[in-house]
Amino acid sequence: MAGGFRIFGRELARGRAASFLVQVSESYSAHPVRIPVTVVTGVRPGPVCFVTAAVHGDELNGVGAVRRLIAEAKTRRKELKGTLVCLPLVNVLGFHVHSRYLPDRRDLNREFPGNPEGPMSARVAHAVWSKILRHCDFGLDLHTAAQGQCNLPHVRADLRVPVLRRMAAAFGCEMIYDDPGRRGSLRRCATEHGIPAMLLEAGGALEYREAMIEHGFRGCLGALGALGMLDEPARHADFQVVVRKADWVRASRGGMVELKVAPGDLIRRGELLYVTTNPFGREVARLKAPYDGLVVSTFTVPMVRPGSAICHVVPLTKVQFERAVRRRKQVHP
């Protein structure tokens, strides 16, 4: 039917939803490896936006957000302009074994757009890219921190692209990283191919946490609102800062670390970040914040060696810091 969305050799009429299993590889037992894809077409015409989760197979909060988004889009098909292409489990092989990686130990998010003649991971990337993602106009890619770390919800996008500036702001996170992404990442590949895509980081691997799932879901609605696909206002954030770089605070000594901060904390210069002790309980190191900032990520495993990442603190200017403190007090008195 004219005006719908053509995918997998089928024309999906406007105002419909359909789910597919799309082959991306084969198993040792010669069975197809397939990933779930749900396409929801709005009654009204508009762009095509993909929403991906679990590109790293152990990152589950995004899976919950995409599933919620599928249910929401189905109920709002009359309002939806354009088409949503939802991939809740991109790296299904990693998902099966609680792993970030594919079975060839490579990171799928370094392989896009892939290579049909390359190693397994490159072939999987090629299948996902060529069969699904390259047919879209925009993209949202949902992640969490790697195992052993936890992230405050924040978004990453190449803010040189005007539509990504709008989508990123509308997602409702306090922190926006202006960053094009690593070579081979889904988001950078898509953006370089004229499919502006942004990324959410929320929570940690192997967790399925309500607050993070809801944040991802609501943020996607805000971004789709910015694209004009849904009648949704931009999501509210207490404050928003754009950063280009943030450094990990790393351990100077080995031992057990007692962390004094958590993701989302606003910390002042001189505040205690952590104390490290040896097996006798004697203190061997402590560190105070070298600048005012926002804690974006922390480790979750309390054993460290020299150089281990402990927390990720984004420096804020005095004006940004005081505004952030004021806004937090107004919203959460």
Q: Considering only CA atoms, which of 136, 115, 60 is closest in space to residue 91?
A: 60
Whole-angstrom distance, CA of residue 162 vs CA of residue 69 = 24
DSSP 257-272: EEE---TT-EE-TT-E
**Residue number with CB closer to Zn ion (197 or 316):** 197
* 13, 5 contact by CB (below 8 A): no
Stretch that binds Zn ion, among 64-72, 140-148, 158-166, 235-243 (CB under 5 A): 140-148
**Residue number with CB closer to Zn ion (190 or 266):** 190
Q: In the bound complex, what is the minimum distance in angstroms from residue 300's beta carbon to Zn ion?
A: 15
What amino acid is encoded at 101 in this protein? Y
Q: Which two tokens stand for residue 127?
A: 């299948």
**Residue number with CB closer to Zn ion (106 or 143):** 143
**Residue number with CB closer to Zn ion (220 or 324):** 220
Q: In the bound complex, what is the minimum distance in angstroms from residue 84's beta carbon to Zn ion?
A: 21
* 138, 195 contact by CB (below 8 A): yes
Stretch that binds Zn ion, among 112-120, 125-133, 142-150, 318-326 (CB under 5 A): 142-150
Q: In the bound complex, what is the minimum distance in angstroms from residue 143's beta carbon to Zn ion?
A: 3
Whole-angstrom distance, CA of residue 236 vs CA of residue 248 = 27
Stretch that binds Zn ion, among 40-48, 139-147, 159-167, 279-287 (CB under 5 A): 139-147
Q: In the bound complex, what is the minimum distance in angstroms from residue 205's beta carbon to Zn ion?
A: 8
Residues with Cβ within 8 Å of 19's Cβ and at least 6 positions away in sequence, in order, are 36, 37, 38, 39
- Is 188 a binding residue for Zn ion by CB under 5 A? The answer is no
- Is 143 a binding residue for Zn ion by CB under 5 A? The answer is yes
* 221, 275 contact by CB (below 8 A): no
Q: In the bound complex, what is the minimum distance in angstroms from residue 326's beta carbon to Zn ion?
A: 33
- Is 56 a binding residue for Zn ion by CB under 5 A? The answer is yes
Stretch that binds Zn ion, among 57-65, 127-135, 225-233, 321-329 (CB under 5 A): 57-65
Q: In the bound complex, what is the minimum distance in angstroms from residue 56's beta carbon to Zn ion?
A: 4
- Is 123 a binding residue for Zn ion by CB under 5 A? The answer is no
> Helix or strand or coil: residue 9?
coil
Whole-angstrom CA distances from 284 to 51, 255, 278, 311 are 46, 8, 6, 18
Where do the H-state alpha helices sit in 12-119?
Answer: 61-75, 92-96
Letters for 13-52 (x = contact with Zn ion by CB under 5 A, - = none) are ----------------------------------------
Longest dimension (CA), the chain: 74
* Cα end-to-end distance, the chain, whole Å: 55
Segment 198 to 227, residues that bind Zn ion, using CB under 5 A: none
Which residue(s) pair with 176 in the sheet?
155, 242
Q: In the bound complex, what is the minimum distance in angstroms from residue 54's beta carbon to Zn ion?
A: 9
- Is 106 a binding residue for Zn ion by CB under 5 A? The answer is no
Q: What is the DSSP letter of 84?
A: E
Size of the site for Zn ion (CB under 5 A): 3
Shortest Cβ contact with Zn ion: which residue? 143
Residues that bind Zn ion (CB under 5 A): 56, 59, 143
